[in-house]
Structure formats: structure tokens, C-alpha cells
Structure 1
Amino acid sequence: MAFGRNKNRRRQDAAQRNEAVKGAVRSKGPGVMKVLALTLATGLLVWGGVELRRWALQSPRFELAAVSFSGLQRASRVELLRLAALTKGQNLWALDVGALERTMLQHPWVKKVEVTRRFPNRVSVAVTEHVPEALAVLGELYVLDEEGEPFKRVTPGDGLDLPLVTGVDREGYVADPEQARQRFQAALEVARAYTKEAVAGKPERLSEVRMEGRDVTLVAASGQEVRLGEGDSEVKLQRLARVRRELGARGLAAEIIHLDNRARPGWVAVKISSPVSERNGSAKQ
């Protein structure tokens, strides 16, 4: 009898286990199926992505056919393509845009560059160049851009006819580049103001901007010195234009024009060199 009871108990236990398994499947089955489906979908996406990338990197459809440039003035298309080692037939997907930009920035005239892939087979390059505004002696002759940055050495092929900024040497620039740049910027601001007056009154071409501490002296192409001193450059340059007109009307030429009287800012002192006729070699005998 004990044997029969054990047998019945085992049957009951088996039935209970089967029922428990069925209950677990009913309660957790949908969740398990979702996990399995998600895993399968992820695997398919990864596989599809790998295959798509392989196709994109090998497809002739994405082989570089043309490169367009904008903003070029001094830098040339050939030079930039050579620097970047950019040639036809390269795959657009394989191009490292950041690396291309960094290599093109090595060109001395290039200030900023933006490379954009134009699918399926073109690349555009937008270049911003340094704008040369003056020259500076920093051991060697350098070109200053519009921000007072000495961005390249002067070379024979540059063909630049720009005013020279003096009073900032190489040692000073190396010791404190930011302060030197600020002095260059101050010199450029005065040069721009002089050019603005030049457009209106056609004075002599500016040859040099001499920075002596905080004082500024302009040197014209004729050698005439205009000592502006410190501050109020635009007002002083307007006064300079009036002085030059008055001298011209009297047939006189000035060697030095002083506009740097700190005690009496409105005063002007002039050192006369010679009459204009004598300067031109046409004086009467």
C-alpha cells in the first residue's frame, strides 16, 4: 500500500510541476519572445550596417569626381590639393574631413578652412585667408593680418606694398605675444584711420607706423614724420589733413609735423623742410 501511495504522490508532483511550467510559460513567455525578437532584430541591424558600410566603401558611386574651392586669393587650388593629398577616385565615406582641414591649414595664407562632403561624389572647400595689412620686423620680415597676427614670413613672390610697423621686436613678441599683438592692432587701427583720411584728401602714402612706447609716429613715403603721440588718432589725423592743405596752399613742405602736445592737444608744430618747388628741383635761379 505504501508503494502505491508513493506512486500516486509522484504523479501528483509531476502534474504540479507541469502545471507550474505551463503557468510560467503563460506569464513570462511574451516577455521572453520580445527579448528574443529584439536580439534578432539587433543582430540583423548590425549585420546590415556592416554590409552597407562595406558596400559604401567599395561602390564606384562614391568615388570622388570633383573638388570645388571658394575664398581663394593667395593660396592656390593645386597647393591645397597637394597638401591634403586629395585626388580623384578616393571614396567619400573614407575621407577624414578633420584631417583634410588640418593639413590645408598648414598653408601660410589659410586662416580657416571648412571641408564638406557633397554626396555622392563631390567635396567643397570653403577657405578664409589672412588679409595682409602691414609688415613687421621680427628678426625677419613678417606679414601682419587684420588681427595683428604675424602669420607668415615675407617671400619674394608675395608682391606686397604695405606699411611697416616698427617698435615691436622679436624678443618682445616671444616674451609676451598677446601684448605684442595688441600693439600691432593699435598700429593697424591708426593705419586704417590714415587710409580713411587718404581716400578723402589724397595725402601721401603711408610708409611706416612707428610704435614708441604708447606714442605713435607715422612716416609718409616722402620721409615726412607725423608725430601723433598717444590717443585721439582720428581727431589728430583730421587736423593733419588741414595742416597739409594749408602748407600746400603756401607752397611749403614739412619735414616733421607735431600733433603730440600733451599740454595743449589742439596745438600743431611744424618743422619746414623746403618749398615744394625746391623739393621738386624747379626753383628759380
Structure 2
Amino acid sequence: MGLFNNSPRANAAPARKQNRRVQQARPRPVPAPTPVARKPAVTASRAGARVNRRVDAPRAGAKPAIHVPRAGLKNLVAAVPRVGARGRRLLSLAARLAVAVTLAWGVLLAVQASYQFVTTSARFEAKSLVYQATPHVPVDRLQSLLGLEPGTNILAVDTDALQAKIAAEPWVKRASVQRSLPDTLIVEVEEHEAAAALLSGYFYLIDRDGVPFKRLEEGERGELPVITGVDREQLVAGDARAQSAIRRGLDALTAYQQVPRPRLSEVHVDQGGAVALYTAKTGAALRLGRGDVESRLARFDALRAALGERAEQLAVVHLDLDAVPGTPERVVASFLDAEAEAAVLARGAGAHKPASKDIAQEPAAPAPPASGPSKPAKSKGKKKKAASGNKLLPGSRSTTRNESWQKSEK
């Protein structure tokens, strides 16, 4: 065979083989690229304008953008769909309220746990008592009033109840109970100071304020004077007249005790406010009346200075005689002892001085003998008494006759 074959079949076969190779070498078709949706540009002027659905609407097939808000209460509330401004405000308020309730509940639980710990801890057990004992509330009496058992927690003690319990004692005027952590109670007690006894149906002790704070018991009076003349019904009813009478008696007693004078046993105040004092040793009555007490006690001091030792024999002294303008003041007195009365009358008869002379200015005279001169002295005393024109003292406690004295104060 030759190199070239002119036969059609021979020439065709190689052509088909060549075409198959050409077809295999053809490049594969490349799919067209998918168009990318562009995000429409938003200018500053269109930031708050309404969206144009035709222009700004996303293209078909494009995935919607997902906006993830930042963490925060306002963002969470704003992300709630289909809720208006009023609804968002309500939700914000509800969320804040829920947070506040949660915090308060947590604080309450913490406080409760702390309280349970301190009220059950042995460190806060009441072990010490600081107290200054008073004359009528000793330490053992106070301990019985407190009634604290061993192991009592100091924070569980009701201090107000203990104060009221201590103050219920008759002699206690004021009480105070305080804690000193971790284990000490401090108790302070102030007692009433008895100024006098009061007789109004029963005997009571009263303080400087005129408050009856307890019934008088045996051995409690001592040398205290007794105030009488206060109506019991007025006292029980809390009438101001009863308190005024007590106050009047205490004022007279205080004024009397400012200067050393004979001890008093009774201070009587009548319904009109007139005061009469009675000495403890001789029972002498000093009638002060309704006026100023101090000026009339000054008259009594002048009388005692003039009589000297014989002042102890006075039975009744009227210090409430107010002088008429232009006339000297008078002090009317009576004596318990006839001998003392005769001595005073003899001294007055031998002085030969006007009756208006101050008795405090007269020199002391010795007592006359019991025989002879006593009768003329008494007769002269009668003349002097008749000349003075003073009436005898009504209701005198003396067994002898009364005598009048005139006194002028310059």
C-alpha cells in the first residue's frame, strides 16, 4: 500500500477520529455570573424620610439584612415589634420595677440571715450588768425585775419593756436600759426624793414637785412634816385645787426650812389657802394666813430673838395680822407655861415704854421671883392688855390666858 490511500473510506475514517478529538477539546460552558444586589445609598437628607418601595425595595431574590441590636434594656424594649411609644414606656417601667423588687428581696433575705446569726450567736449573750444601786432599789431587786435567764441574747432583749417594768417600782422616778455590745446592759435609775408626807384619807409620800408617789409605810416618814387639809375627793379626781393646796404647803415648808428654826411636824392648808405651821417639839402653832410667807416668818424670827429661851414656851403665834396703814404691825402670842407668861408680862410692865415699841429692841429682863411681885406684875399686865385693846386669841392650846404683843417694823 502506498503512503496515501485515495479510497473514500480510508479517507473518511481518519476524519471522524479527528472530529471526536476536536469535540473533546472544546471548553465547557461557564454559567453567567449572578448579579449582586446593591444596597441603595441613603443620604443625610433621606435618613428620616419615608421609604420609597419602588426605588428602595430590595431586588427579587436578595436576602433581607438582619439587624442585631446591642445588649441593653432600651434596645430590648425598642426591638419589640408592633409596640408604640406608650407601650415601650410601660414595658420600661415594668422592667425597672421588677429589677427593684428583685434587689429589695435579695437585701431582705440578707438582713434576715444576718439577724438570725447575731440573735443565735453565743458572742452576743447578755453576761454583764452595769448599775449604780439606789437606796430603795438594790442590785438583787433589780436583777429580779429584769428576769434575764442565762443564755439570753442581748439583741433579743426588749429594753422598752424592761424600762417600764423598773419604772413601775414606787420609789423609781425614771429608769433607762441600754445595750452595750457585745454582752453588757447599762441600767440607770433615778428615785423620788420625799419632801413631805401627805394626809388625805391615807398617808402618802410626796416629792418636791408635789406628786404623791407611794403609800406611807412604817419607818418611811422619819422627820418629814405632814401636809394636811387637802380634800381626798379632789386629790383622787385630779382637781387643780388639790394640787394648788399641796404646792402652797410645800412652798411654806421650803421657806421655813431656809433658816434654822424649830422642826415642824405639820403644815396645814385650809380651803382658802391659809397656812398654819406646827412645831414638832412643843406643838406651837404659827398662823401665817394667806399672804406672803417669808415676811411673816421674819416677824416670827424677831419675836424669838426678843423672847430668847422663853420662845420655846410659845403656844400660838398670830403672824397674819395685817396692820392698818399708819399703825404698827401686831404679833399676838400665847404661852404654854404660866411662869413664862408672868416673866414676859413683868418685863413688859417694868419697861415703861409705849406699846408700839418694837419688842426686838427691848433688853432682856431677869425672871421675877415667884412670890410677892408676881401679882402686881399680872395686874399691870392686865392694864396693858386693856390699853392695847387686842382681843384674846381664839382656839389657843395654852392652859393659861393669852397675851397680846405689839410690834412695829421699821
- Normalized against structure 1, the TM-score is what? 0.81
Question: Runs of 5+ in structure 1 lacking a partner?
Answer: none
- Per the alignment, residue 82 of structure 1 pairs with 144
| Larger proportion of helix | 1
Work out the CA distance in 1 between the residues paired with 2:168 and 2:221.
21
Residue 66 of structure 1 deviates from its aligned partner by 1.7
Higher relative contact order (CA 8 A, sep 6+): 1
* 2:285 aligned partner, one-letter code: E
1:242 is the counterpart of 2:302: yes
**1:165-222 deviations in whole A, cap 9, x for unaligned?**
0000312212344331222122111111111112xxxx21111000012100000012
Q: Is the 8 A contact 1:66 1:88 kept in 2?
A: no
Q: Secondary structure at the match of 2:330?
A: coil
1:91 is the counterpart of 2:153: yes
Distance 1:28 1:181, change over 3 A: farther
- Per the alignment, residue 208 of structure 1 pairs with 266
* 1:27 aligned partner, one-letter code: K
Residue 140 of structure 1 deviates from its aligned partner by 1.5
* Structure 1 segments (4+ residues) deviating >6 Å: 30-37
Q: Select the structure of larger CA radius of gyration.
A: 2
> CA RMSD, aligned part only?
3.5
Residue 80 of structure 1 deviates from its aligned partner by 2.8
Q: Is the 8 A contact 1:135 1:165 kept in 2?
A: yes
* 1:95 aligned partner, one-letter code: V
- Per the alignment, residue 267 of structure 1 pairs with 330
Work out the CA distance in 1 between the residues paired with 2:288 and 2:103.
77
Q: Secondary structure at the match of 2:130?
A: strand
Q: Is the 8 A contact 1:142 1:150 kept in 2?
A: yes
Work out the CA distance in 2 between the residues paired with 1:173 and 1:190.
20
Of 145, 158, 173, which aligns to 2:220? 158
- Per the alignment, residue 209 of structure 2 pairs with 147
Distance 1:263 1:159, change over 3 A: closer
Work out the CA distance in 2 between the residues paired with 1:159 and 1:131.
12
Of 132, 153, 175, which aligns to 1:70? 132
Work out the CA distance in 2 between the residues paired with 1:141 and 1:26.
79
**1:196-249 deviations in whole A, cap 9, x for unaligned?**
112xxxx21111000012100000012000000013111211221221121225
Work out the CA distance in 2 between the residues paired with 1:241 and 1:182.
27
Of 178, 195, 199, which aligns to 1:116? 178
Of 304, 309, 314, which aligns to 1:254? 314
Of 278, 291, 313, which aligns to 1:219? 278
Bigger mean CA deviation after superposition, 146-155 or 176-185: 176-185
Distance 1:266 1:85, change over 3 A: farther
**1:135-163 deviations in whole A, cap 9, x for unaligned?**
11122211111111111001125253200
How many residue pairs match? The answer is: 268
Residue 58 of structure 1 deviates from its aligned partner by 0.8
Q: Secondary structure at the match of 1:89?
A: coil
Q: Is the 8 A contact 1:251 1:276 kept in 2?
A: no
Identity within the alignment, %: 30
Q: Is the 8 A contact 2:196 2:205 kept in 1?
A: yes
Residue 69 of structure 1 deviates from its aligned partner by 2.0
- Per the alignment, residue 22 of structure 2 pairs with none
* 1:232 aligned partner, one-letter code: D
Work out the CA distance in 2 between the residues paired with 1:137 and 1:250.
32
**1:100-131 deviations in whole A, cap 9, x for unaligned?**
11111110000111111111111111111111
Distance 1:59 1:257, change over 3 A: same
Bigger mean CA deviation after superposition, 25-34 or 151-160: 25-34
Residue 23 of structure 1 deviates from its aligned partner by 6.7
Distance 1:193 1:252, change over 3 A: closer
Work out the CA distance in 2 between the residues paired with 1:163 and 1:179.
21
- Per the alignment, residue 169 of structure 1 pairs with 231
- Normalized against structure 2, the TM-score is what? 0.58
Work out the CA distance in 1 between the residues paired with 2:291 and 2:209.
20
Distance 1:40 1:101, change over 3 A: same
| Larger proportion of strand | 1
